[in-house]
Amino acid sequence: MSACNFTHTTFVLIGIPGLEEAHFWIGFPLLSMYAVAVFGNCIVVFIVRMERSLHVPMYLFLCMLAAIDLALSTATMPKILALLWFDSREITFDACMTQMFFIHALSAVESTILLAMAFDRYIAICHPLRHAAVLNNRVTAQIGMVAVARGSLFFIPLPLLIKRLAFCQSNVLSHSYCVHQDVMKLAYADTLPNVVYGLTAILVVMGVDALFISLSYFLILRTVLQLPSKSERAKAFGTCVSHIGVVLAFYVPLIGLSVVHRFGNSLDPTVHVLMGDVYLLLPPVINPIIYGVKTKQIRTRVLAVFKISCDKDFPAVGGR
């Protein structure tokens, strides 16, 4: 081990094992998903920014979530498409560390924003008269800054911990992008500090967030069930449906990927790759769709924009 004192200058990414011949064609549905993610999240940001009636905490948090999803998908998808279409497998060590930081930090920021949205729903349903005082736009902006600081501070040590390691043998990663667990496994050194810190950071950030989100919904459900009429209960809980869908879209793939990384060594490598791609691609694609379908203000605004566009492109015959 003492003779190993150098680090690879590049890592090699893989596509989808066993489907190398189909990489070119697989790139097109991935590009379509990326386009939906970019378009959908940009639409959400644009509508929230332009519609002053949406300048309230729930939609401002949604705008933050859309910005995070844009950054997260853009940090990974261009390189994945270059790998699938042009066989561009190599990524420099520094680029890998940068991508690793953004993937983990942005995931932590997204988790914090999801917690803030759960808190917003809790205050709105359980303490509606205090909502305006507890969560105003200033507090919302402060929560956004705390979320960014929290994600950065907890996960900037990950690339620093990787840089202290030596890599003497394989430099082939098992994903199409760089994540801490994947790079760490290639090290020819003691990785116990990486394992302990990585697990601690995930538990303290994502684990604590998931716990408080669950607690928020337990309190919300208890309050909703105490409402006198069925219509009031349905209306109150209906305001949470979109957020519950977004939470599940984020945490289910995250938990699945973590389980596969730690206990799935005997699984086919394709499972690891597909779980990783689902974790990165699913939330940015599905989040704007969920909120666009379930949120009347956003749905109405989008339909109005497309109606204006269609009227301009196809004017009514006879001026009608």
Please write the tens of the pLDDT for every residue from 26-62: 899 999 999 999 998 998 898 888 888 888 898 899 9
Q: Which of 112, 89, 317 is nearest to 208 (CA)?
A: 112
Q: Which amino acid is at 307?
A: K
What does the pLDDT read at residue 1? Answer: 45
What does the pLDDT read at residue 265? Answer: 66
What does the pLDDT read at residue 145? Answer: 96
What does the pLDDT read at residue 5? Answer: 54
Q: Which of 213, 64, 59, 44 is nearest to 144 (CA)?
A: 64
For 81-126, what is each residue's pLDDT tens digit? 999 999 888 999 999 999 999 999 999 999 999 999 999 999 999 9
145-158 per-residue burial string, b: 16 or more CB within 10 A, e: under 16? eebbebbbebbebb
Please, is 110 exposed, middle or buried when counting C-beta atoms within 10 Å of its C-beta (0-12, 13-18, 19+)? buried
- Average pLDDT (134-142) is 91
Structure tokens at 73: 């998908």
What does the pLDDT read at residue 9? Answer: 79
Percent of the chain with pLDDT over 70: 90
- Average pLDDT (150-170) is 89
For 193-219, what is each residue's pLDDT tens digit? 999 999 899 999 999 999 999 999 999
What are the residue ranges spanned by the domains of the chain? 12-303
For 214-257, what is each residue's pLDDT tens digit? 999 999 999 998 888 888 888 888 888 888 999 999 998 888 77
Question: With bands split at pLDDT 50, 70 and 90, how would you rate the model's confidence at 317?
Answer: very low
**Which value, in Å, is the radius of gyration of the alpha carbons in the chain?**
22
Helix (H, G, I), strand (E, B) or coil at 127: coil
11 phi/psi in degrees, rounded to 5: -115, 160
Region of 165 (left: φ > 0; alpha: ψ -120 to 50; beta: rest) is beta
Element (H, E) at 91: strand 90-92
What does the pLDDT read at residue 54? Answer: 82
Based on DSSP, count helices (H) and strands (E) in the chain, helices before strands.
13, 2
Structure tokens at 132: 């305006």
For 36-45, what is each residue's pLDDT tens digit? 999 989 988 9
Q: Which of 216, 210, 168, 206 is nearest to 188 (CA)?
A: 168
What does the pLDDT read at residue 95? Answer: 93
Q: Which of 20, 19, 23 is nearest to 31 (CA)?
A: 23
Question: Which CATH code fits 12-303?
Answer: 1.20.1070.10
- Concatenating the DSSP letter of every residue in 180-241 gives HHHHHTT-SS--HHHHHHHHHHHIIIIIHHHHHHHHHHHHHHHHHHTSSSHHHHHHHHHTTH
Rounded-to-integer distance, Cα 264 and Cα 278, Å = 16
What does the pLDDT read at residue 281? Answer: 84
